[in-house]
Amino acid sequence: MKHRHFKLFKPYGYLSQFQTNARHEINKRFLGELFDFPEHIMAIGRLDKDSEGLLLLTTDGKVSYDITSAKTDKEYYVQVDGVITEEAISQLEQGVQIRHKNETYLTKPCQVFKLDVTPCFPERAKKIRDERHGLTSWISITINEGKFRQVRKMTAQVGFPTLRLVRIRVGTITLEGLQMGGVQELNDLY
């Protein structure tokens, strides 16, 4: 069987999984609504329901394992509440204490910088508060680990809660060429 690989611009509000018959998931949105994916497709890693951006999918479990276990870089553009300070950026870069599975965890050092220009993403389905509620800023964070809601926990820990989170890159694969909800088939994921 020839395996297939895709990249997807996951919209806000979708779960990073495919339809199940569970009763508690009746009103939820799933990736299968966006494209006619082949059987046995799986997301490589996850983006939570409130996050947007690049999601890789494959029918090859070995490729999925290789990418998630290789500590591949993942870059996020993050809109935070307030005008982020150099001190907060430095703390993020060095690693911060977050809660993970009821334990304290020190995040690994990562790359962080403030974006001088607001990224041009489509408006989100659920509106983010507007400027009358205070200033916001955008940063880029590149990590190579992925604890549950890690980036959100990191920015909150330094006093700048995340308002919008968009993954723009996994390894060398980017969102380039995709519209919100768009899917593109790839020859490979390396």
Among all residues, which ones are annotated catalytic? 48
Beta bridge partners of 56: 7, 44
Find tokens 């680990």 and name the residue.
145
Residues 6 or more apart in contact with residue 112 via CB below 8 angstroms: 89, 92, 93, 139, 140, 141, 142
Structure tokens that stand for 50 in this block: 């409130």
Alpha-carbon distance 87 to 95, whole Å?
12
Measured CA to CA in angstroms, residue 26 lies from 20, 23, 72 at distances of 9, 6, 33
Q: What is the DSSP letter of 18?
A: -
